[in-house]
Amino acid sequence: MRPGRAGAAGRKGIVTGKGNVVMMRRSNFVFLTAMAALAACSSSSSEPLNPDPEAAAVVAEMGQTFELRPGQTARVGTGGLVVGFRGVAADSRCAVDVTCVWSGDAELRLQVTVGRMAWTSLALHTHVEPRSGTFRDRTITVVALRPDNRSDREIPPGDYVVTLRVE
């Protein structure tokens, strides 16, 4: 291929060995379309989480299960611990309306902080290890992820709800 030669219509592109002109705009369109599709597959919230325990959407006691949606935080216990759910990075769980040989897995993105410390990121899973992560002397465990997958639809990123427990 030789770049920069004019095609039959005087437009610039890449000339193949057979003299065909492949237009650069088409490849840019394909690239941008692929990037948009990849971005749509991730459900991670890009908004910064608020580390203020008083601003948490959920208040839970140690050992109690609680639910979070992407972008939400929970204040856990009385020590100022804040757990945030960034979203689902990957979801290969088996759809409930099909038969699978493996249950699959979902990878969840969490962040944890206390006081004015920087956020600590955790990648936890629903069916493979690690299902739990440690922050300071606390263990954060994934209990469940909703909704279940179905073969006839994709789950919108904001529809995920994770159930967690901190001990």
Helix (H) or strand (E) holding 69: none
Together in a domain, 116 and 69: yes
Number of folded domains in the chain?
2
In this structure, what are the phi and psi dihedrals at residue 69, rounded to the nearest 5 degrees? -100, 165
For position 52, what pLDDT does the model report? 78
Alpha-carbon span 159 to 65, nearest angstrom: 19
Quote the domain boundaries for residue 34.
Answer: 2-41
Shared domain for 29 and 63, answered yes or no, is no
The separation between the first and the last C-alpha atoms of the chain, rounded to the nearest angstrom, is 61
Domain contains 130? yes
The 10s digit of each residue's pLDDT in 128-153 is 999 999 999 999 999 999 999 999 99
Q: What is the pLDDT of residue 30?
A: 35
Which residues of the chain are under the pLDDT cut of 50?
A: 1-2, 5-16, 20-44
Amino acid 43: pLDDT: 45
Residue 116: what pLDDT?
80
